[in-house]
Structure 1
Amino acid sequence: MDKTDIGILKALQEDGRASAQQLSEKVGLSAAPVWRRVKAMEASGVIQGYSAQVDRSKVGLGCMFAQISLERHSANTVENFERSVRDAPEILECYAVTGDSDFLLKILVESPEAYDRFLHRFLFNMPGIRQTRTIVALREIKHEQRLPL
């Protein structure tokens, strides 16, 4: 990764539909080498895909966070938990964390009632969970998708 690659990534984060020509104007390189660099970053996994940024509040989704503590930290318990998390569409993000809990989940649902249903259908029925603590996001102060490159 060099300065030009970083410039391309910054430009794509601003507009994921930018053409090679538009990118070339931003980074000072002709379109063909820019295109090759983009393709190389896609192939290596630096660029993982392109998608529309949807305003969650405009489609009726609220944000909840769940702090999860496991009963045991055996490889099997952790693997089962992580697999289940990956399969739950309501969970947008999951982090293994330090502190009083083991995992932090970002969950998007339509309402507190929908979150309650999610808890009972998913988390409360999952073996190996010792404790779940919920944090309700009242309002969003900052939501940034672009990485600070």
Structure 2
Amino acid sequence: MNKQALAKLDRTDLRILDALQHNGGLSNQQLAETVGLSPSPCSRRVQKLEAAGIIVKRETVLDARKLGLDLTVMIQISMDRHTPERFANFEEKVASFVEVQQCYLVTGQDADYLLKVVVPDIDAYQSFLLNRITRIEGVSGVHSSFVMRRVVDTAALPLNYVNA
């Protein structure tokens, strides 16, 4: 998104975005009451934010542990060659793995990719690693770090940096 799109946001838009990113399940009526608008203008603003691509999607956040997904792993992956074809192939494969919650192409360290993976246990992780990740053409190194505790775990953006 460019600076021009940012310039069109006002304080009410930011209040709408803040409310939705903390509770995407709000009804339009609830959202309107939260931000101090009547339902019709609130709905129009949300539609404009969606059309502008500022609101990308709404998700329901599940508790992984209550579903038996007790192991979160951060994986640093190195590639043997830095070619667009290698990266595209890796990204296509990783995007199809339901265990992968996030995948980032990174710089500033030995790894090329950083993945966040959620699985039930160490045995499931070993199977995932050996039967899927290491079988992707071009993967030359894998470093796994196991999450012991989630200290901050949010997808909410810091809207205080957005000028309105």
Instruction: Please classify the TM superposition score into its range, dividing by the shorter chain length.
Output: over 0.9
Unmatched 5+ stretches in structure 2: 1-8, 160-164
Mean Cα deviation higher: 88-97 or 138-147: 138-147
Q: Report how far residue 59 of structure 1 moved.
A: 0.9
- Counterpart secondary structure, 1:36: helix
Structure-1 residue corresponding to 2:84: 75
Which residue among 130, 133, 139 is the counterpart of 1:129?
A: 139
The residue identity in structure 2 corresponding to 1:82 is: E
Structure-1 residue corresponding to 2:101: 92
The residue identity in structure 2 corresponding to 1:20 is: N
Which residue among 142, 149, 152 is the counterpart of 1:142?
A: 152
The residue identity in structure 2 corresponding to 1:79 is: A
The residue identity in structure 2 corresponding to 1:5 is: D
Which residue among 98, 115, 127 is the counterpart of 1:105?
A: 115
1:65 pairs with 2:71: no
The residue identity in structure 1 corresponding to 2:157 is: L
- Counterpart secondary structure, 2:132: helix
Structure-1 residue corresponding to 2:16: 8
For 1:138 and 1:19, the matched residues in 2 are separated by 36
For 2:29 and 2:135, the matched residues in 1 are separated by 52
The structure with higher relative contact order (CA 8 Å, sep 6+) is 2
The residue identity in structure 2 corresponding to 1:77 is: R
Aligned CA-pair RMSD = 1.4
> Taking every aligned residue pair, what percent have the same amino acid on both sides?
40
Unmatched 5+ stretches in structure 1: none
1:119 pairs with 2:129: yes
For 2:111 and 2:119, the matched residues in 1 are separated by 22
- Counterpart secondary structure, 2:142: strand
Give the TM-score taking structure 2 as reference length. 0.85
Mean Cα deviation higher: 123-132 or 49-58: 49-58
Aligned pair count?
Answer: 149
Q: Report how far residue 147 of structure 1 moved.
A: 1.9
* Cα shift readout 1:76-100 (whole Å, capped 9, x = no counterpart): 1011011111111111101111111
- Counterpart secondary structure, 1:107: strand
